[in-house]
Amino acid sequence: MSDARARLSQALDAPWKITNAWSCWWAYPRTRLLFALNGIPWGSSWRFYGAPIIQKHRGSRMTFGPGLRLRSAARSNPLGPNRPVMLVTWQAGAVLAAGRDFGMTGGTICAAREVTIGDGVIVGANTTIVDTDFHALDPECRLRGPDLAATAPIRIEDEAFIGMSCLILKGVTIGRGCVVGAGSVVTVDLPPACVCAGNPARPIRPL
């Protein structure tokens, strides 16, 4: 079967993929302008299913490698993203950097200090990754402002897979090839090449 016939057959069997393809074209000019206005370098082979939300501090940095794939539209994934992908650098000096072939559906990444994501990382629907507590534990500090909240860098190494509806908190490293089960809360470092799950997430078995 030729490539054209194969694509036609797939479209007839799964017609929602036609809508997804259309959403890519529709989102492209808006998303490109959004990245340009925020001073984020444009990469190659990027695909957007609906436009993400970007909140970038002027004194911060966001970079993404080739092959970026963000699914923000509600119909773009069977798991149903409940909001667009939200990319945030919250304070001056913050860094949000992802390598090649990074994919994410819905959810939020917020860097007050640093979130670094390696190559080939996939993040499931509606996951939240935040390197800050947002508010200090001490009541007096909370009244003085959110910049006094505790922060610590997050590192997600190459080829990690994070399931849907996870919460990744400050100061953790997720090892290369680690698989984090759906709904997990990550509060400590997770080793490479293993399946981890739970609240708090812990290693279940090696891969």
Residues 155-206: pLDDT tens digits? 999 999 999 999 999 999 999 999 999 999 999 999 999 999 999 999 999 9
Domain 3-206, CATH class in plain words: mainly beta
- Alpha-carbon distance of 5 to 176, in angstroms, equals 38
Q: Confirm whether 57 is a catalytic residue.
A: no
Which residues, at least 6 apart from 128, have a Cβ–Cβ distance to it below 8 Å? 107, 108, 110, 166, 167, 168
Six-digit token string for 25: 């074209």
- Alpha-carbon distance of 139 to 199, in angstroms, equals 26
Residue type at 193 in one-letter notation? A
Query: Among the options 135, 142, 155, 202, which is catalytic?
Result: 135
Q: How confident is the model at residue 12 (pLDDT cuts 50, 70, 90)?
A: low
Strand 114-117 to 154-156 pairing? parallel
H-helix or E-strand spanning residue 129: strand 128-130
Task: Compute the 3-state secondary structure of the chain and give helix, strand, coil in percent, each to the nearest 5.
Answer: 20, 30, 50
Question: Residues 62, 94: contact at Cβ < 8 Å?
Answer: no
Judge whether residue 138 has pLDDT over 80. no
Residues 100-110: pLDDT tens digits? 999 999 999 99
Provide the terminal-to-terminal Cα distance of the chain, rounded to the nearest Å. Answer: 36
- Alpha-carbon distance of 168 to 185, in angstroms, equals 6
- Alpha-carbon distance of 151 to 91, in angstroms, equals 11
Would you state the pLDDT for residue 95?
98
Sign of the CA dihedral running 71, 75, 78, 80? positive
pTM of the model: 0.86
Question: Residues 91, 71: contact at Cβ < 8 Å?
Answer: no
Judge whether residue 77 has pLDDT over 90. no
Domain boundaries, the chain: 3-206
